[in-house]
Chains A and B, each alone.
Chain A
Amino acid sequence: MDLSQINPILLVASLMVAATPILLAAIGELVVERAGVLNLGVEGMMITGAICGFAVAVETGSPWLGFLAAAIGGAALSFLFVILTQFALANQVASGLALTLFGLGLSSLLGQSYVGIKPPPTPDLHIPLLSDIPILGPVVFSHDLILYLGIAIVAGVWALLKFTRAGLILRAVGENHDAAHALGYKVVRIRVMAILFGGACAGLGGAYISLVRVPQWTEGMTAGVGWIALALVVFASWKPWRVLLGAYLFGGITVLQLNLQAAGVAIPVEYLAMSPYVITIVVLVILSADKSRAPGSLGRIFHATS
């Protein structure tokens, strides 16, 4: 065992990279759930985004077009969920599970000819001054654009929900859709937009895995990250900054336990492998002990009777 092999600077830098897919997927799902919709298809939308982004990036040579395609792909898959749950009024849990299974299958099909290829690299930013700060610069300020976009989305969602009328209406629709409808708000339209936003975020998160984190394409490469994102939203009490905290905690422990494994710590690998899940859940359960609760209409089907 040699803990000195673990480089703290690299650790923090890779923590931020490891956390970003979960962060993107979770903040999208948070908006969906605040609008009162439970979309369990995050995993399916992520993997679809992963292959769409990968394929387009490889074909065009531009990672940015790849990320754009990933967002569109994720949103397109979530539109299937929109049709099922908002127009056909199907059960949201069943539709979400179906979406995940469909997304996994579809991505394998699309990805058949992309196995073993390397995607074009996503360039890291070099922010003048900030990136030159010793230690902090390379750790925090020298990542790619999408990582910062993820943090910006969290801040944006927080500000939207807290300070704007659009956010208030979104919360109202999620809290009591019948009352919102009685006041004349377009419940279905607002929810459709939220679901598409959630799909686009999940798609971005998926592409971040296939283009930056890993970077290659293998079947089922999201490996349950979508489910973690779903759990994270609940344990974060539907609060944006807690989602960020949870994602970084999860990402941090994931990276740390990999490092510990490499360093040969005398703990069985299985315990190390499960530690990110256990610790993240424990911390967020403790945090969610306040009185905040789920949006009142979460998962309920809205049918305008008037």
Chain B
Amino acid sequence: MSDILLSLRGLTKAYPGVVANDNVSFDIGTGEVHALLGENGAGKSTLVKMIYGLVKPDSGTMTLRGKAFTPAEPRAARADGIAMVFQHFSLFDALNVAENIALGMENPPPMRDLAARIREVSETYGLPLDPYRTVGDLSAGERQRVEIIRCLLQDPKLLIMDEPTSVLTPQEVEILFKTLRKLSEEGTAILYISHKLEEIRALCDHATVLRLGKNVGECVPSETSARDMAELMVGTALKTPTRAGRDMGDVALEIVALDAKSPSAFGTSLKSVSLSVRKGEVLGIGGVAGNGQDELLAVLSGEILTAAGSVKLHGRPIGQTGPTARRAIGLLTAPEERLGHAAAPDMSLTENAMLTGSVRENLESRGFLKWRAAQGFAEKIIEAFDVRTPGPNNAARSLSGGNLQKFVIGREVLQRPEVLVVNQPTWGVDASAAAAIRQAILDLVAKGSAVICISQDLDELMEISDRFAALNEGRLSEPRPTTGLTVEEIGLMMGGAHGMEVAHV
């Protein structure tokens, strides 16, 4: 790792009102796995977009193998051996795997040869793929394989990976890491962007930490504790959520042998799901996305109606009760999709506060809306959850993902729920805000509410939940106490490596 592949010196990029990157410098060595760490908005994406030629720096230089490197467009960057796997998959649903891969290549061979090469490369790296399947039908893990193979076929010298593990099971992560280590041994440098510190410690040789667009420090991840790295990222000492001693009360919410058909053609139906959660308890539900999480939330919120007796709140059957009536009796939910499900994107925060708060916060009387009270409620949420926005009259769409997440979770927490169901409460939220949301959930539980937390972040579930269960193809595993649970056991509960066996053709 002595010779330097890519060297960045004083890169600066400003957008109106914000400096995304301020004088960033670091080096990436040949065959090095280099981590780029930082909170949301720290400027990681802008930095890699400059390397990939999507954004031009205002000032600063890049040097690739000793030569000045100024890619005018991604094509030029690809020609120089830079490949990128995007955070939001840049795939075309209606096209097949081979067509998607051809689109990412400069001079793709004829389709038949390309298909053969895809098979060959995918087998070599343990990422089996059928070139003729339509991408829209693939799972998240398989879609990521498409992106990775698209990069590998171009024989890259530097592979940029933007948060690649957020959609994978632990076993799939292990397979991905093996692939990455193999690539690194073959001399490919990898720039790995993530905020999952344990992964970075396991995989990366070197880490650069960005905060507010500046390079605030470098470290060797294997010799630095996750906590130190997190504090470097955030800039302040990190508060770990604390749980007060809890008294478990009676069973608050119960699901008994529930079967529910998914309303969407691509959804997963729930199959004989049973669970119960007590007052003062957090039940964590893990599993890879698309294994019935959305359906479970819909069953609890009242969007999918079921047999009356299969969902019970305080012993009372509510399976046939609609969402508003459920809210009235204290069962509140916060779905995963922020824009369009949890919040109406083009409506103001006040209007969004009104939408779910009207019943429990008395924001309407005889069909007339009390706007002043709703605005007061919205302001209370903004204040209590540190939502960064000019005011409650701003549209939900104008907030960053993390800030909107704080708003939608805060909106439910402040309505004093008896049972709160959250799906992905800290998705896309930076470390300090995530800690604040988890603390709010734990505070709620300490006051005697019951919480069901559906999440794909296992660290989060281990941190806040008392019991853990996993969804796998619409079935829920037996819940187990989180204390003493190992990662292997969790992986098995989640159903092992998804699709890995199936895809071996």
Contact = CB atoms under 8 A, between A and B. Distances in A.
Interface of A: 165, 168-169, 171-172, 175-176, 178-180, 182-185, 293, 295-296, 306
Given A165-B102, A182-B54, A306-B49, A175 B90 contact: no
25 contacts: A169-B103, A171-B95, A172-B92, A172-B95, A172-B103, A175-B92, A175-B94, A176-B91, A178-B90, A179-B90, A179-B92, A180-B103, A182-B54, A182-B90, A183-B103, A184-B53, A184-B74, A184-B75, A184-B78, A185-B103, A293-B94, A295-B94, A296-B92, A306-B49, A306-B54
Contacts of A172: 92, 95, 103
A245 to B, nearest CB: 22
A185 B103 CA distance: 9
B102 A296 contact: no
Contacts of A185: 103
Given A165-B102, A306-B54, A306-B55, A182 B91 contact: no
A306 B94 CA distance: 25
A267 B136 CA distance: 49
A131 B404 CA distance: 70
B393 to A, nearest CB: 24
B162 to A, nearest CB: 11
B104 interface: yes
A179 B104 CA distance: 10
Closest 6 CB pairs of A and B: A184-B74, A179-B90, A175-B92, A182-B90, A184-B75, A306-B54
Contacts of A179: 89-92
B460 interface: no
Given A184-B75, A306-B49, A165 B108 contact: yes
Contacts of B155: none
A47 to B, nearest CB: 34
B164 to A, nearest CB: 16
Contact of B94 (A169, A180, A296): A296
Most B CB within 10 A of own CB, among A169, A175, A293: A175
B99 interface: yes
Most A CB within 10 A of own CB, among B73, B89, B91, B103: B103
Nearest to B91: A179
A207 to B, nearest CB: 34
Nearest to B53: A184
B53 to A, nearest CB: 7
A176 B93 contact: yes
B386 to A, nearest CB: 26
Interface string B370-400: 0000000000000000000000000000000
B94 A183 contact: no
B86 interface: yes
A168 B99 contact: yes
Given A172-B95, A184-B73, A306-B54, 12 more contacts: A165-B102, A168-B99, A168-B103, A169-B103, A172-B92, A175-B93, A176-B92, A180-B103, A182-B86, A184-B74, A296-B93, A306-B49
A254 to B, nearest CB: 33
Contacts of B90: 176, 178-179, 182-183
A185 B90 CA distance: 12
A188 to B, nearest CB: 14
B94 A182 contact: no
Contacts of B104: 183
A108 B53 CA distance: 50
A234 to B, nearest CB: 16
B432 to A, nearest CB: 26
Interface string B36-47: 000000000000
A178 B93 CA distance: 13
Contacts of B49: 306
A165 B78 CA distance: 18
Nearest to B50: A306
A237 to B, nearest CB: 12
A172 B103 CA distance: 8
Contacts of B74: 182-184
Nearest to A294: B94
A182 B49 CA distance: 9
B150 to A, nearest CB: 9
A165 B101 CA distance: 12
A166 to B, nearest CB: 12
Nearest to B103: A172
Nearest to B49: A306
A184 B90 CA distance: 11
A175 B86 contact: no
Contacts of A176: 90-93
Contacts of A175: 92-95
Nearest to A292: B94
B43 to A, nearest CB: 13
Contacts of A296: 92-94
A133 B232 CA distance: 85
Nearest to A304: B54
A252 to B, nearest CB: 32
Contacts of B94: 171, 175, 293, 295-296
A30 to B, nearest CB: 15
B18 to A, nearest CB: 13
